[in-house]
Amino acid sequence: MAPERTRRRIPDATVSRLPVYLRLLGEQGDEGVDSISSERLAELAGVNAAKVRKDLSYLGSYGTRGVGYEVAYLVYQIRRELGLTHDWPVVIVGAGNLGQALAGYGGFGERGFPVAGIVDVDDNKVGTVMGGVRVRHIDDLPQIVQTKRVNIGVIATPGMAAQDAADRLVKAGVTSILNFAPVVLNVPHGIETRKVDLAVELQILSYHEQRRSGGVGGAVGSGPRSATA
């Protein structure tokens, strides 16, 4: 390949915001907006304007001073940087409540992440269809990953089965994992992992609520507007 030396590394914080900008820019584009300022984009994204400019500067200087950014071009650049110029098929492990919801959630395919397959250990679930995809046995994982060129795996199993799922995914050749199970996964170096834990999110909110309601005192079930029990 070209001298393409160590490609500008983009800070994690920025990477996590680019998808947000991308979505907003897409919406703006659909509404006929063809140029947008960092200030406006910042407002839509709920962040600081300087941050937007700095974030976008990591992609290169694609803005026009005095004018702003051309929406369509910016969309293209962000998509390119995020690797969204082509689809990334994903495989879902676990066909329970969550797995079903994920498979049925149309947003996946629409946004470039078609569900290449769903697998489960439970033979009773194998064969059923969810979101247009037939559930297959987890032993078929390697085959699915290979034939469908899957790089991303989604773990939607109970916590107990998550590590095994991760092991199988890695063994099958997956290099990125999105984990919904409340478990700290142990994966080989080089495997990218992200975790979404509903319980953690709720507990963080709980912390703030508890704080709001008068600090760590006795166990009182008082809400902001509720009668003190």
Partner DNA sequence: CTGGCTTTGTGAACGCGTGCACGAGTGCCT
Partner DNA sequence: AGGCACTCGTGCACGCGTTCACAAAGCCAG
Q: Looking only at residues 60 through 99 of this chain, which bind DNA when binding is defined by CB under 7 A?
A: 61-69
- The SS3 call for residue 93 is strand
Q: Which does 66 bind (CB under 5 to 8 A by kind): DNA, a second copy, none?
A: DNA
- The SS3 call for residue 196 is coil
- C-alpha dihedral (24, 28, 30, 33), degrees to nearest 10: -160
- The SS3 call for residue 99 is helix
Distance in angstroms (rounded) separating the CA atoms of residues 20 and 35: 17
- Write down the least CB distance from residue 10 to DNA, Å: 9
Residue 86, H or E segment? none
- Write down the least CB distance from residue 83 to a second copy, Å: 2
Ranges within 97-116 binding a second copy (CB under 8 A) = 97-98, 100-102, 104-105, 107-108, 111-113
Locus of tokens 């590590």: 163
203 binds a second copy (CB under 8 A): yes
Q: Which does 80 bind (CB under 5 to 8 A by kind): a second copy, DNA, none?
A: a second copy
Q: Which does 204 bind (CB under 5 to 8 A by kind): a second copy, DNA, none?
A: a second copy
Ranges within 73-92 binding a second copy (CB under 8 A) = 80-90
- Write down the least CB distance from residue 27 to DNA, Å: 17
- Write down the least CB distance from residue 32 to a second copy, Å: 18
Give the Å distances, CA to CA, from 55 to 46, 50, 142, 192. 14, 8, 38, 22
> Closer to a second copy at the Cβ: 129 or 184?
184
57 binds DNA (CB under 7 A): yes
Residue 103, C-beta contacts closer than 8 angstroms, at least 6 positions apart: 92, 95, 115, 118, 130, 131, 132, 133
Q: Which does 102 bind (CB under 5 to 8 A by kind): a second copy, DNA, none?
A: a second copy
Q: What are phi and psi of 152, to 5 degrees?
A: -115, 130
| Residues lying near DNA in the complex (CB under 7 A) | 11-14, 36-39, 47-51, 53-54, 56-57, 61-69
